[in-house]
Amino acid sequence: MTRTVETTGTRHIVWDWNGTLLDDNHAVMAGVNAVCRLYGRDEIELDYWRDVFSRPLQECYARLLGRELSPVEWAELDALYHRSYDELLHTCELGAGARDVLRSWGDAGRSQSLLSMWFHTDLVPLITKLGLVEHFSRVDGLRVDVGGGSKAEHLERHLRELDLPPSEVVLVGDVLDDAAAAGQVGTGCVLVTTGMTAPDRLLATGYPVADTLAEAAALARTPGVRLVPS
């Protein structure tokens, strides 16, 4: 059955963080290439990673490295990635226009929240330091020691805590897992080209695709825009 989610019913955006509101591609690639060096694989460029990135992350890295990873190896790999990422985190900036988009959405009487697959204990201090907390009715990051799974179950829990029906929500993110989560939970979705997935892969999902955060918000609020695949 085809679902129709149109912006006439949209009152809430769930924003992704990494690659969406935060411009951290260079830090991500530093982490990925630290893993490549550890396992004797040639370093890769951003365009290559955007063509192959997927979740679950453990399976994605197994394909990248050409070998299966034991649970111990995966935990070590994940820790190495985040150490390398964290070294450059101070150089990461908000995506272009992020503050204005968040402010405008809230000023229009709409609500918004933040759902990230980054660790909650790192996420909250950073958005607090950046002065963004006031924009969000709820902030959720990962509350586990090792990440890499799907976003769908987290999105479902996030909306349950907010007491929001999925039909009134649009998820804005930058990877295929965002589209999959929206499809599984029943929200609308707009995908942005600013992060870890090549535009052609985003377009292939059938969801609307935006090049900027401002364009994504405009799609989410414009009456009649179809926010699910045909």
Of the candidates 73, 91, 109, which is a domain's last residue?
Answer: 91
Same domain, 119 and 209: yes
Write out pLDDT tens, residues 18-52. Answer: 999 999 999 999 999 999 999 999 999 999 999 99
Q: Which structural domain range is residue 150 located in?
A: 7-23+93-221
Write out pLDDT tens, residues 57-83. Answer: 999 999 999 999 999 999 999 999 999
Summarize the confidence of residues 90-114 as an average pLDDT: 97
Write out pLDDT tens, residues 120-172. Answer: 999 999 999 999 999 999 999 998 765 556 899 999 999 999 999 999 999 99
**Residues paired with 119 in a beta bridge:** 142
Number of domains, the chain = 2
Strands across the sheet with 12-15, in order? 139-142, 111-119, 12-15, 169-173, 188-192, 209-210
What are the backbone dihedrals phi and psi of residue 210, each rounded to the nearest 5 degrees, phi first? -125, 150
pTM of the model: 0.92
| The pair of three-digit structure tokens given for residue 46, joined into one six-digit string | 């951003």
Calculate the average pLDDT of the chain: 92
Same domain, 19 and 39: no
